[in-house]
C-alpha cells in the first residue's frame, strides 16, 4: 500500500490499465500507408518512390543529413523530398520513416515542416524517436502545448527535467492546475533544473488558469537554450539583449519564421534564413514591406526597407541598380541579400549600359528560380563571361553542347580561388549533358579535376538514378551537400548530384544547383 501511495497519478493509471493509448476515436484514425504533406498533385514526389528500396540505404541517407546544406536550392529540394507524402521503404516501419524525416528536417532548421510530418501520424502510434523529433519540432516552433497529446499519452520513464516541466505545463492546460502548480513548486524547491527554466514553465502553466504572474529572473543566466527561447517567445517575455546577441544561428533562423515575435527580432534572422532556403525571396520582401508600413523596426532595418523600395520604384534603371548594390553590400556580401533582391533584379531592363551588372543580376534572379527573366540578358552576356556561364547552366533546354573554345574563354578569365568556378561550371555542364566528350576531357585535364572516380556514395546515387528513383536521389544528394560553405563542395560531388537529379526528372533543381555553384564558388 505504501508503494501505491508513492506512485505518481500517471504511474498509477498505467499500473491499473486506466491510461488511454490514443486520443483519436477508432473511426477517425489514419492509415500509415503513406505519410507526409505534399501529394504528387501538390508537387511532391511519387508516393511509391521508396517502396522497393532497401531500408538500410534510406536509413543511412536520412541519418547523413546532419545540418545545413551548402546550396540554397539543395535545401529547397531536400525539404520537398522530405515533406512528400510517401510510403515507407521495404522493411521499414512507417513510424520510423516519419521519425527519420522529421529529424532531418529539424537538423535543417525546418521545424514547421517537421511538426507537420509528425502531426500526420496519430499520436497513439508514436515511438520514442518520433516523440523526440516531435519535441524538437514543437520547441523550434514555440508550440509548447502542441506536444501535450503526446506528452500525456506517453508511457515509460524519461530521466529528463525538461520532460517533467513539460508534463506539468500539459497538466495545467488539461484542467489539472493544482497538480501542475504542486509539481512545479516541487521542481523549484528541489532544483531539478536551472531556475529560469522552471520559472518560464510556471509562467506558461499559470497562463492556463489565469493565475498570478511569475517574475522571470534572468540574472546569472549566461546562455540561451532552445527550451528557454521557445517558452519566452510563446509567452511574449523579453529576453535580455545580451543573451540574444550571443545566441547562435539556430535562434536567428527560428526567430525569422516565428509569427509571434516583433519585426525587429524577425528581421535579424531573415538574411540567414533566406540564404539557406528557409525563407523565400517573396517572404523576405514581405518582411521588409511590413517594416516600411510600420515606419521601421530599427534604423538598419528601416534603411534596408527604404532601399528595397527604391530598388522597385525608382524611375531610372541606374537608380534602381544603385539601390540593389547598396542592399548587396560590399565584397563579402551576404547571400541572403541576393535572395532579397531577386524580383527587383528581374525589373532591370537588359541593356548594353547595364551589361557589367549582368552576372550579379542573373545570380540574384536565379535565387528565386527566375530563369526566364535571367535569359533575357543573353544578348548582353558575352561568351566566356560569368553571365554566359550562369545562363548556359540555367536555360531549360540547350540544342548544342558548349564548345571547347567557349570553356577555354571562361577558364582563362576565371580568377576565383583554385579556379573553383571553372571546375563547378565543367561539373555542372557535364552533369546536365551539355558538354561533348572531347571538351569535357580537355577541361578536366586542364583544370586537374577528377569527376569520374567512384566512391560508395557516388555509386549509390548513380544506381538510384539508373532505376529512376527521385526520392532516393534527393536524399543522397542531400548527404553530398552537407557543409558550411561552397569551399566544402567538390566538383566530383557536384557532377554526380547534378547528373542524378537531371536523369530522374528533377532537371529544374539540377540547373539551379549548378548555376548557384558557379555564382557562389
Could you read off the pLDDT of 401-421 as tens digits, one per residue? 999 999 999 999 999 999 999
Conformation bin of residue 162: beta by default, left when phi > 0, alpha when psi is -120 to 50: alpha
Residue 82 scores a pLDDT above 70: yes
How high is the pLDDT of residue 15? 52
In this structure, the dihedral spanned by the alpha carbons of residues 327, 330, 332 and 333, taken in order and rounded to 10 degrees, is 10
Rounded Cα distance, 478 and 263, in Å: 32
In this structure, the dihedral spanned by the alpha carbons of residues 198, 200, 206 and 208, taken in order and rounded to 10 degrees, is -120
Residue 257 near residue 279 (C-beta atoms within 8 A): yes
Q: Coil, strand, or helix at residue 492?
A: helix
Rounded Cα distance, 213 and 202, in Å: 9
Largest CA distance in the chain: 90
**pLDDT (average), residues 239-262:** 94
Least confident of 29-33, 69-73, 189-193, 208-212: 208-212
Structure confidence by residue, pLDDT tens digits, 222-241: 999 999 999 999 999 999 99
Residues 6+ apart with CB under 8 A from 173: 145, 148, 205, 208
| Cell numbers standing for residue 340 | 532579397
In eight-state DSSP terms, residue 41 is G
Residue 2 scores a pLDDT above 70: no
In this structure, the dihedral spanned by the alpha carbons of residues 487, 489, 490 and 491, taken in order and rounded to 10 degrees, is -100
Residue 372 near residue 396 (C-beta atoms within 8 A): no
Residue 150 scores a pLDDT above 60: yes
pLDDT grade, residue 438 (50/70/90)?
confident
Residue 380 near residue 350 (C-beta atoms within 8 A): yes
pLDDT grade, residue 451 (50/70/90)?
confident
**What SS3 string covers 180-225?**
HHHHHHHHHHHCCCCHHHHHHHHHHHHHHHCCCCCCCCCCCCCCCC
| Cell numbers standing for residue 479 | 548527404
**pLDDT (average), residues 385-412:** 94
**What SS3 string covers 425-478?**
HHHHHHHCCCECHHHHHHHHHHHCCCCCCCCHHHHHHHHHHHCCCHHHHHHHHH
Rounded Cα distance, 162 and 135, in Å: 11
Rounded Cα distance, 215 and 301, in Å: 32
Rounded Cα distance, 246 and 128, in Å: 32
Residue 399 scores a pLDDT above 60: yes
Rounded Cα distance, 425 and 428, in Å: 5
How high is the pLDDT of residue 332? 78
Give the CA count within 13 Å in the CB-facing half-sphere of 164: 20
More confident residue, 364 or 16: 364
How high is the pLDDT of residue 253? 97
How high is the pLDDT of residue 5? 52
How high is the pLDDT of residue 28? 75
| Cell numbers standing for residue 74 | 539543395
More confident residue, 120 or 4: 120
pLDDT grade, residue 13 (50/70/90)?
low
Centre a 10 Å sphere on the Cβ of residue 96 and count the other Cβ atoms it contains.
Answer: 18
How high is the pLDDT of residue 81? 98
- Share above pLDDT 90 across residues of the chain, in percent, rounded to a whole number: 81
Least confident of 80-84, 159-163, 393-397, 476-480: 159-163
Q: How far apart are the first and last CA of the chain?
A: 71
Centre a 10 Å sphere on the Cβ of residue 343 and count the other Cβ atoms it contains.
Answer: 18
474 CA to centre of own chain? 14
Find, among 173, 201, 169, the residue nearest to 188 by Cα. Answer: 201
Rounded Cα distance, 396 and 459, in Å: 27
Q: Is 222 exposed, middle or buried, given 0-12, 13-18 or 19+ CB atoms closer than 10 A?
A: exposed
Find, among 38, 46, 32, the residue nearest to 471 by Cα. Answer: 46
How high is the pLDDT of residue 337? 97
Rounded Cα distance, 274 and 282, in Å: 10
Sign of CA dihedral 461, 465, 471, 473: positive
**pLDDT (average), residues 476-486:** 95
Amino acid at each position: 500500500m505504501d508503494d501505491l501511495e508513492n506512485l505518481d497519478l500517471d504511474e498509477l493509471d498505467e499500473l491499473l490499465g486506466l491510461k488511454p493509448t490514443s486520443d483519436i476515436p477508432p473511426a477517425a484514425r489514419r492509415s500509415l500507408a503513406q505519410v507526409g504533406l505534399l501529394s504528387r498533385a501538390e508537387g511532391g514526389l511519387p508516393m511509391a518512390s521508396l517502396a522497393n528500396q532497401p531500408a538500410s540505404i534510406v536509413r543511412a541517407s536520412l541519418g547523413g543529413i546532419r545540418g545545413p546544406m551548402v546550396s540554397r536550392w539543395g535545401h529547397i529540394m531536400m525539404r520537398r523530398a522530405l515533406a512528400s507524402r510517401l510510403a515507407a521503404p521495404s522493411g521499414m516501419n512507417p513510424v520510423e520513416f516519419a521519425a527519420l524525416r522529421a529529424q532531418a528536417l529539424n537538423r535543417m532548421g525546418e521545424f514547421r515542416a517537421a511538426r507537420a510530418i509528425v502531426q500526420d501520424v496519430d499520436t497513439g502510434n508514436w515511438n520514442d524517436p518520433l516523440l523526440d523529433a516531435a519535441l524538437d519540432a514543437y520547441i523550434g516552433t514555440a508550440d509548447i502545448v502542441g506536444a501535450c497529446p503526446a506528452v500525456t499519452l506517453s508511457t515509460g520513464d524519461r530521466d529528463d527535467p525538461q520532460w517533467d516541466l513539460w508534463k506539468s505545463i500539459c497538466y495545467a492546460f488539461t484542467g489539472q492546475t493544482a497538480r501542475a502548480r504542486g509539481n512545479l513548486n516541487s521542481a523549484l524547491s528541489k532544483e531539478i533544473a536551472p531556475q529560469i527554466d522552471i520559472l518560464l514553465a510556471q509562467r506558461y502553466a499559470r497562463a492556463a488558469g489565469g493565475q498570478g504572474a511569475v517574475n522571470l529572473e534572468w540574472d546569472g543566466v549566461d546562455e540561451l537554450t532552445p527550451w528557454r527561447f521557445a517558452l519566452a517567445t510563446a509567452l511574449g517575455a523579453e529576453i535580455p539583449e545580451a543573451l540574444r546577441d550571443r545566441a547562435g544561428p539556430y535562434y536567428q533562423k527560428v526567430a525569422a519564421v516565428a509569427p509571434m515575435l516583433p519585426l525587429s527580432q524577425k528581421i535579424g534572422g531573415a538574411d540567414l534564413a533566406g540564404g539557406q532556403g528557409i525563407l523565400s525571396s517573396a517572404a523576405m520582401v514581405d518582411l521588409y514591406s511590413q517594416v516600411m508600413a510600420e515606419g521601421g523596426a530599427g534604423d538598419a532595418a528601416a534603411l534596408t526597407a527604404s532601399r528595397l523600395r527604391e530598388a522597385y520604384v525608382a524611375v531610372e534603371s541606374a537608380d534602381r541598380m544603385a539601390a540593389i548594390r547598396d542592399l548587396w553590400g560590399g565584397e563579402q556580401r551576404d547571400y541572403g541579400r541576393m535572395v532579397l533582391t531577386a524580383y527587383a533584379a528581374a525589373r532591370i531592363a537588359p541593356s548594353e549600359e547595364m551589361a557589367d551588372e549582368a552576372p550579379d543580376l542573373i545570380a540574384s534572379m536565379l535565387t528565386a528560380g527566375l530563369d526566364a527573366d535571367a535569359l533575357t540578358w543573353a544578348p548582353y552576356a558575352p561568351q566566356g563571361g560569368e553571365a554566359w556561364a550562369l545562363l548556359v547552366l540555367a536555360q531549360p533546354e540547350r540544342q548544342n553542347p558548349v564548345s571547347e573554345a567557349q570553356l577555354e574563354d571562361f577558364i582563362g578569365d576565371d580568377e576565383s580561388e583554385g579556379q573553383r568556378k571553372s571546375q563547378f561550371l565543367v561539373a555542372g555542364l557535364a552533369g546536365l549533358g551539355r558538354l561533348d566528350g572531347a571538351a569535357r576531357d580537355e577541361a578536366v585535364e586542364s583544370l586537374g579535376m577528377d569527376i569520374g572516380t567512384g566512391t560508395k556514395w557516388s555509386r549509390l546515387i548513380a544506381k538510384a538514378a539508373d532505376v529512376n528513383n527521385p526520392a532516393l536521389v534527393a536524399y543522397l544528394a542531400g548527404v553530398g551537400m552537407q557543409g558550411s560553405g561552397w569551399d566544402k563542395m567538390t566538383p566530383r560531388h557536384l557532377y554526380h548530384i547534378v547528373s542524378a537529379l537531371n536523369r530522374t526528372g528533377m532537371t529544374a533543381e539540377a540547373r539551379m544547383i549548378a548555376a548557384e555553384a558557379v555564382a557562389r564558388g
